[in-house]
């Protein structure tokens, strides 16, 4: 077993002028999570730290960079799961919460474990999660795109992270602003255990990204983890899961996977996917936007 962490900034089309921002954001996120792991922190803490970095960046579709719904507002979903007890927590359709992943983590030991809208916002405020005016999360770029009804290329459906800590515990997290101009109140896959994320110390953990309405019916995260049976490498398991989605439904998706040994894998059927990872076997974190040319990508 080796300490490992992997993050994704979404399966999407990344225009040339956004490559550097995607790389920098994913790298900063994985470094934040890695610092937690190497200081003896838990996988849950590492996942939260990494995703908070992505949520604070306008480059990614989570919190500050989230897309706007059909009312021109930001609504956020997030979830976390850990693989020891199969504990989980999720929130959806929340507004005015800067870091919904932190709410999802706090709710993991509560019942109910899935809160939406005002109930989730009230829970966040009562538990010390940073709140703000809902308008503060509307970035200028997203407001302009929404007002002008522009076609959006660089808006992933979800960002996420998977980590393995020194105790052998795996954790997965997701966070998203949904899809551009979605109906207010829509909830996709990101906050749904088995679809947007899954973690089980016996096999591995996964975070997904893409079209929620396509990910949910094939239970993509759990499907990827099931394919780890028989000591299959996470790369192969991830690709098999994406192949299942592509064969059964229309839509783009991607997933990142760690197995119980800390091996790393990911796959996607979109044009690009922003990914960064770090393990004890590497001298420095690696970051990519295209997998097929992995060896040519810049490892920072």
Q: What is the pLDDT of residues 59-118, one digit of tens each?
A: 999 988 888 888 888 999 999 999 999 999 999 999 999 999 999 999 998 888 999 999
Residues tagged in the binding site annotation for substrate: 186-189, 209-212
Query: Which structural domain, as residue segments, surrounds residue 28?
Result: 4-296
Distances (CA, A) of 173 to 19, 37, 128, 274: 23, 15, 20, 16
Residue 136: the pLDDT is 84
What mean pLDDT is reported for the chain?
A: 91
Residue 185: the pLDDT is 94
| Structural domain total, the chain | 1
End-to-end CA distance of the chain: 24
For residue 181, what pLDDT band results from cuts at 50, 70 and 90? confident
Residues tagged in the binding site annotation: 186-189, 209-212
Distances (CA, A) of 174 to 15, 36, 159, 231: 23, 18, 6, 25
Diameter of the chain measured on Cα atoms: 51
Mean pLDDT of 207-228: 97
Q: Which of 134, 197, 129, 115 is nearest to 163 (CA)?
A: 197
138 contacts: CB under 8 Å, gap ≥ 6: 68, 72, 73, 74
Residue 179: the pLDDT is 86
Q: Return the CATH number at 65.
A: 3.60.20.30
Confidence check: pLDDT of 281 > 50:
yes
Rounded to whole angstroms, the Cα distance separating 210 from 56 reads: 20
* Stronger pLDDT, 258 or 151, i.e. the higher one: 258
102 φ/ψ sector (left φ>0, alpha ψ -120 to 50, else beta): alpha
Q: Which of 135, 76, 74, 83 is nearest to 108 (CA)?
A: 83
Q: Give the rounded percent of residues in the chain with a pLDDT score beyond 90.
A: 79
Residue 147: the pLDDT is 61
What is the SS3 assignment for 40-66?
CCCHHHHHHHHHHHHHCCCCCCCHHHC
The single residue listed with the structure tokens 């992943």 is 101
Confidence check: pLDDT of 242 > 70:
yes
Q: Please list the active-site residues.
A: 158
Residue 139: the pLDDT is 67
- Crossing angle of the two packed helices 43-55 and 19-38, in degrees rounded to 10: 150
pLDDT digits (tens, 9 = 90+) for 117-167: 999 999 999 999 999 988 888 766 666 665 666 555 445 568 999 999 999
Residue 160: the pLDDT is 98
Rounded to whole angstroms, the Cα distance separating 237 from 85 reads: 23
């Amino acid at each position: 077993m080796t300490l490992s962490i992997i993050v994704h900034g979404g399966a999407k089309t990344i225009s040339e002028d956004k490559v550097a921002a995607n790389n920098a954001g994913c790298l900063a996120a994985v470094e934040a999570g890695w610092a937690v792991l190497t200081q003896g922190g838990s996988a849950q803490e590492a996942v939260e730290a990494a995703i908070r970095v992505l949520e604070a960046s306008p480059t990614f579709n989570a919190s500050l960079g989230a897309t706007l719904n059909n009312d021109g507002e930001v609504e956020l979903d997030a979830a976390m799961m850990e693989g020891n007890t199969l504990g989980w927590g999720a929130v959806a359709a929340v507004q005015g919460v800067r870091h919904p992943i932190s709410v999802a983590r706090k709710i993991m030991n509560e019942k109910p474990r899935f809160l939406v809208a005002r109930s989730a916002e009230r829970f966040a405020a009562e538990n010390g999660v940073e709140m703000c005016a809902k308008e503060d999360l509307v970035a200028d770029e997203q407001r302009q795109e929404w007002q002008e009804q522009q076609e959006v290329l660089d808006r992933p459906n979800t960002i996420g992270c998977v980590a393995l800590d020194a105790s052998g515990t795996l954790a997965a997290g997701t966070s998203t602003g949904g899809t551009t101009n979605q109906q207010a109140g829509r909830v996709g896959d990101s906050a749904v255990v088995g679809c947007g994320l899954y973690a089980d110390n016996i096999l591995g953990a996964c975070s997904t990204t893409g079209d929620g309405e396509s990910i949910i019916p094939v239970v993509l995260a759990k499907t990827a983890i099931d394919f780890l049976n028989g000591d299959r490498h996470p790369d192969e398991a991830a690709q098999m899961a994406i192949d299942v989605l592509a064969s059964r439904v229309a839509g783009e998706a991607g997933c990142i996977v760690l197995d119980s040994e800390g091996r790393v894998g990911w796959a996607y059927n979109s044009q690009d996917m922003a990914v960064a990872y770090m393990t004890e076997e590497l001298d420095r974190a690696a970051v990519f936007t295209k997998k097929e040319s992995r060896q040519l990508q810049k490892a920072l």
